[in-house]
């Protein structure tokens, strides 16, 4: 992932971590899938204690080398206080993605703490997202919402049974630096 490391190196704030999320994480990107990058940035002290706060969320989308990049980072304060402590599987997916673009000791500590943040209430997130995707599937001819329905329900079931968040919705995974993750039989 050297090209993705170049992308995150260009960001205006220090990054605690950036991971790959979305369709590339779960092994079913389409030809037109963007690359979803999610992470946490650290604002300088002057932006945290000053009268004008810095950006809590940075959301950028652009094309690079023919690939659409969607980068969303949250300020560490927002991530710790308002996102990580809520029962949101999406935030856990960002934190625990095995496709890491940049990391450090804080990310490693957060990954170690993640099991203590999991509760049975995370099921509400997965069930709600699954229902929404199922409705989208019923409204149209696109199979992507059906894939997302299965993915999110399998992830939620695994979470509740094992107490672990996993991106593995196939029995065995392989990854290469040049191709997206694919399921092998």
**What residue ranges do the domains of the chain occupy?**
2-118
Check if the beta carbon of residue 1 is closer than 8 Å to that of residue 8. Answer: no
Question: Would you call 95 exposed, middle or buried from its count of C-beta atoms within 10 A (0-12, 13-18, 19+)?
Answer: buried
Topology at the third CATH level for domain 2-118: Beta Polymerase; domain 2 (3.30.460)
Three-state DSSP class for 169? coil
Evaluate the CA torsion angle 50, 51, 52, 56 in order and state its sign: positive
Exposure pattern of 23-48 as b/e (b: 16+ CB <10 Å)?
Answer: bbbbbbbeeebbbbbbbbbbbeeeee
Check if the beta carbon of residue 169 is closer than 8 Å to that of residue 28. Answer: no
What does DSSP assign to residue 147? H
What is the token pair recorded at 143?
Answer: 């199979």
Give the number of other Cβ atoms within 10 Å of residue 105's Cβ.
Answer: 8
Per-residue pLDDT of the chain (185 residues; tens, 9 = 90+): 558 988 888 999 999 999 999 888 888 888 888 999 999 999 999 888 878 889 999 999 999 888 899 999 999 999 999 999 888 888 988 998 999 999 999 999 999 998 888 888 888 889 999 999 999 999 998 888 998 899 889 888 887 777 666 655 443 333 333 333 333 33
Check if the beta carbon of residue 181 is closer than 8 Å to that of residue 174. Answer: yes
């Amino acid at each position: 992932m050297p090209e993705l490391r170049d992308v995150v190196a260009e960001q205006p704030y220090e990054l605690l971590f950036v991971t790959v999320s979305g369709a590339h994480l779960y092994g079913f990107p389409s030809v037109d899938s963007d690359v979803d990058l999610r992470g946490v940035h650290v604002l300088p002290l002057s932006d945290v204690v000053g009268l004008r706060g810095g950006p809590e969320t940075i959301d950028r989308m652009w094309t690079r080398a023919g690939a659409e990049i969607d980068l969303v980072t949250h300020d560490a304060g927002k991530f710790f206080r308002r996102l990580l402590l809520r029962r949101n599987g999406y935030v856990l997916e960002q934190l625990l993605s095995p496709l890491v673009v940049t990391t450090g000791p804080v990310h490693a500590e957060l990954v170690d703490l993640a099991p203590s943040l999991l509760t049975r209430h995370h099921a509400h997130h997965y069930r709600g997202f699954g229902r929404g995707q199922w409705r989208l599937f019923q409204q149209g001819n696109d199979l992507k919402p059906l894939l997302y329905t299965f993915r999110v329900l399998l992830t939620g079931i695994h979470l509740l049974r094992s107490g672990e968040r996993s991106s593995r919705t196939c029995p065995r995974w392989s990854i290469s630096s040049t191709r997206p993750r694919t399921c092998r039989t």
